[in-house]
Amino acid sequence: MPRPQKILIDTETQAMQIIWPDGHESIYDLTYLRRACPCAECQPWKEGVGEPGKSPESVLKAEGKLNAVSDVIPIGGYAIQFHWADGHSYGIYDWNYLRELCPCDEDVAKRRQSTE
C-alpha cells in the first residue's frame, strides 16, 4: 500500500483522517485505533488468546484515556507509531493495516463479505 497523501490528527475530536493515493478518505476514532493496537502485548487479546474476558494490562491501565495521543512518529516510509498518554507505544501501524482497519461503511461491508 502506498504512503498516504495526507494524515491529520484532530485533538479536539480525537480523530485521525487519512487521504489515500486513490482518493479514499479514512477517518478513525483514536479509541478505535488504540483498541486495534497491533503490538505483541495487545495482539493476543484481540485474537482471543489467553484468559477469556481479560484485557491486557496496557488496555486496563488506559481506561478513561485510551484515545489520548502524546505523539505520533513516522516509521520509515511504511508506518506510524502512536505514543499514547498511558505510556503505551509498542504498536507500529503500517499503511496496509490502517487501510484494512478503515471504519467507513464501504470497507466494513467488504470485510463482512470476505468472512462469510
| Structural domain includes residue 105 | yes
* Structural domain for 55, as ranges: 6-115
Tally of domains in the chain: 1
Q: What is the CATH number of the domain that holds 54?
A: 3.30.2020.30
Asked if residue 73 is part of any domain, the answer here is yes
pLDDT for 32 equals 87
**Distance, C-alpha 64 to centroid of its chain:** 17
Asked whether residue 1 is domain-assigned, the answer is no
What pLDDT does residue 52 have?
46
In our burial notation (b when 16+ CB lie closer than 10 A, e otherwise), range 83-116 reads ebbbebbbbbbebeebbebbeeeeeeeeeeeeee
Tens digit of pLDDT at every position of the chain (116 positions): 789 999 999 988 889 999 999 999 999 999 889 888 888 887 765 555 555 445 556 565 555 566 688 899 999 999 999 998 878 899 999 999 999 999 999 998 988 888 77
